[in-house]
Amino acid sequence: MRNVLTIANKEIRSYFNSPIAYILIAAFAALFGYFFWSLVYFFVQAGMQAQFTGRSMPLNLNELVIRNLMGNAGILCLFMVPMLTMRLFSEEKSRGTIELLLTSPLQDWELLLGKWLGALVMYLSLLAFSAISLIFLFVYGKPDVQPLLVGYLGLILQAAAMLALGMFISSITQSQIVAAFLTFFLLLLMWVFEWMSGMDQNQITQVLTYLSLVKHNESFIKGVLDLKDVVYYASVSFFGLYLTARSLESLRYRG
């Protein structure tokens, strides 16, 4: 466990030693702020319209603002994860530092778990900046806390699964650009498998719908904690970590 933390710590430091952490944080905070501002704008307008026409509309802060906000933050993940994972192993390979890691007294699983954890913590620190906007919701409104927390849990689980897949792709190439592009392509593909749910249902579309990354986030966004979605994200994460372990093993054999 100590080795895992050593590696995770090093990963977090190297994000913050390079501009990437700051660029991602700035971009995430700006976009999330914009999402928040526009959603609140429409919410306020809908409220004024309801008052103006005299019809009482069920205006729910959770439904109209937080759900959409969580959904949009999920989409941001699609763009941020490749940037977080592209360097995890490719950079070590191209710099030769992988030789230090693989000749130090630690197990392969400790290495990849540490890297995955480091990337996850980096994602959490991005996500922390979304709280700035949400503080205003709590100051001026009364949203339900519980669905919000479930929504955040969903975002974190989704990111964990995507990071594990991204880490695997980073472990098969020396080039960060290739890793980023392949990861983005794979995640986008898994994202749009969701469309299959609207097509004729047969075995293929059912399986692909099940594999969709975004499909399993729907219940979290609604504030519903569903075990089968948790299982899905956990298994995708495990699958990504397992593939990374095999990829490291093959790296050892091929040199």
Partner 1 sequence: MIQANGLTKRYAQNVAVDGVTFTVEKGQIVGFLGPNGAGKTTTMRMLTGYMPPSAGTASVAGFDVVEKPLEVKKRIGYLPETPPVYPDMEVGEYLDFVAHLKGLPAAECRKKAEYAAERCQVKNVWGKLISKLSKGYRQRVGLAQAIIHNPEVLILDEPTSGFDPKQILETRDLIRSLAGDHTIVLSTHILQEVEAMCESLIIINQGRIAASGTIDELTHRDGTILEASGVGAETLRETFAQVPGVSAVTLTEDGEKLSFSITTPGADLRAVLARTALDKGANLLKLDTANINLHELFLTLTAPAVVPAAPAVETEEETAA
Interacting residue ranges for partner 1, rule: CB under 8 A: 2-3, 6-7, 10, 13-14, 17-18, 95-107, 252-255
Shorter beta-carbon distance to partner 1: residue 38 or 97: 97
Question: Number of C-alpha atoms within 13 angstroms, CB side, residue 89?
Answer: 26
Please provide the DSSP assignment of 61-115 as one string: HIIIIIHHHHHHHHHHHHHHHHHHHTHHHHHHHHHTTHHHHHTSS--HHHHHHHH
The least CB distance from residue 160 to partner 1, in Å, is: 24
Beta carbons of 213 and 162 less than 8 angstroms apart: yes
Report, in Å, the least distance between residue 186 CB and partner 1: 27
Q: How far is the CB of 94 from partner 1 (least distance, A)?
A: 10
Q: Kindly tell me which of 102 and 156 has the beta carbon lying closer to partner 1.
A: 102
* Phi, psi angles (nearest 5°) of residue 9: -60, -45
User: Which lies closer to partner 1 via its Cβ, residue 114 or residue 151?
Assistant: 114
- C-alpha 84/C-alpha 225 separation (Å) is 27
> Looking at beta carbons only, is 93 or 216 nearer to partner 1?
93
Nearer to partner 1, 6 or 197 (CB): 6
Would you say 91 or 218 has its CB closer to partner 1?
91
Nearest distance from residue 245's CB to partner 1, in Å? 15
Least separation in angstroms between CB 170 and partner 1: 16
Q: Phi then psi for 86, rounded to 5 degrees? A: -60, -35
Q: How far apart are CA 75 and CA 58, in angstroms?
A: 27
Which among 215, 173, 218, 170 is positioned nearest to 190, based on CA atoms? 215
- Number of neighbouring beta carbons within 10 Å of residue 181: 15
With contact defined as beta carbons under 8 Å apart, do 154 and 220 qualify? yes
Beta carbon of residue 184, minimum distance to partner 1 (angstroms, whole number): 24
